[in-house]
Amino acid sequence: MIEVVDGQRQLKGCKRIVVKIGSSLLTANGQGLDLDAISHWAGQIADLHNAGHEIILVSSGAVAEGMVRMKLENRPTDLPSLQACAAIGQMGLIHTWSSVLDKHQIQTAQVLLTHDDLADRRRYLNSCDALQHLIEWRVIPVINENDTVSTDEIRFGDNDTLAAMVAGQVHADLLIILTDQEGMFDSDPRSNPDAKLFHTVRAMDESLFDMAGGGGKFGRGGMLTKVRAARLAAKSGCPTLIASGDSDCVLSRLMTGEMLGTLFITDDDRVTAHQQWLAAHLQTAGRLVIDDGAVKAIKENHRSLLPVGVKAVEGHFERGDVVECVDTQGHRIAVGRVNFSSRSAEIVKGLASDKVHQVLGEARSLEMIHRNHMAIY
């Protein structure tokens, strides 16, 4: 747990840090990559690296750089154009990071990930191993979404979400999201000059969603996505700091404990590695609509989901697939590995446990999803 002593955050114990830098901080007001700004970031990252911290960099900017190189004024809305912009811009982005960090005698590695890489258990573990080796070799991974091959409209959706997933994957001690906003306010500071900046909040506080706004021209991640990212990182026990990248020497100042930005603290219930992987699933094979009693049993008592608590079954899935559980209003409650196919789930939904055995036989599991194979939101 990060503590505040004499008005300063105690971050020195945070050795492994994921740093995400947004598009607006890497591009020259829409005129391509800002080499001076990136050189400045490289200096701050090098200082942390040389101080013994393990840095994993999640860098936006590929699509924005591609737009500028192709002289596009507005971000494309169709998938092929987005993918083409990403392919063009990624070349310049990784070359720039490699060049500026090389001046500090720091080796970099390009890592491009898709949602499928993290949703597939084997590929997830393979990428974990690769990242771990890079970190052990004192190499700084420069990570971005592999937009050129991503489907479903280029979806992690934004690099805030990707950064949170990576933070869980590498067991980071801290996630830092740098943006063009000072942090989390109680209302939109662009329209309310009296908006109050929060220095510390609980990542799982539901009221934070009501205070978030939208994204900018060159990026996708508004404050809402950052709150969601902090919540996702918290599932792995990783706190998140959201701060303005426009502040001078912000990384160095944050790591010395200065009260910049907003710290999203975690609860004490760190999940298992398997549950952490489950929590990373943005896309699932199907959906179970559960009643209020099941919601309470899962969220408050950390119980398994039984067939009796299922009101509806949506989608086609097989036993062992990852599905999401939602309440009757459609809010995601949990994701987990289901013990029934969609066909069997449809048969046993709403049935008490003794009835399940009568219908499907004694050999079948009584839990729709066991609590050990479930990640709660």
Question: From 2.30.130.10, 1.20.1630.10, 2.40.30.10, 3.90.1150.10, which CATH number describes the 284-376 domain?
Answer: 2.30.130.10
The number of helix segments (H) and strand segments (E) in the chain equals: 12, 15
Identical fold, 10-275 and 284-376: no
Predicted confidence (pLDDT) per residue in 62-91, tens digit: 888 999 899 998 888 888 898 899 899 999
For domain 10-275, the question of CATH label 3.40.50.970 is answered with: no
The pLDDT of residue 269 is: 61
CA distances from 31 to 19, 25, 71, 365 (A): 23, 12, 9, 59
For residue 81, with 0-12 CB atoms within 10 Å meaning exposed, 13-18 middle and 19 or more buried, which class applies? middle
d(CA 80, CA 76): 9
Domain positions in the chain are 10-275, 284-376
Q: What is the mean pLDDT of the chain?
A: 88
Q: Which amino acid makes up residue 19?
A: V
pLDDT of residue 49 exceeding 60: yes
Query: DSSP E strands: which ranges in 213-259?
Result: 240-244
Q: How confident is the model at residue 216 (pLDDT cuts 50, 70, 90)?
A: very low
pLDDT cut 90: percent of the chain above it: 53
CA distances from 128 to 118, 164, 232, 298 (A): 9, 14, 17, 29
Closest CA to 330 of 289, 280, 292: 289
Q: How confident is the model at residue 221 (pLDDT cuts 50, 70, 90)?
A: very low
Strand partners, 133: none
d(CA 153, CA 147): 9
d(CA 235, CA 107): 31
Max distance between CA atoms of the chain, in angstroms, equals: 70
How many CA atoms lie less than 13 Å away from 377 in the CB half-sphere?
21
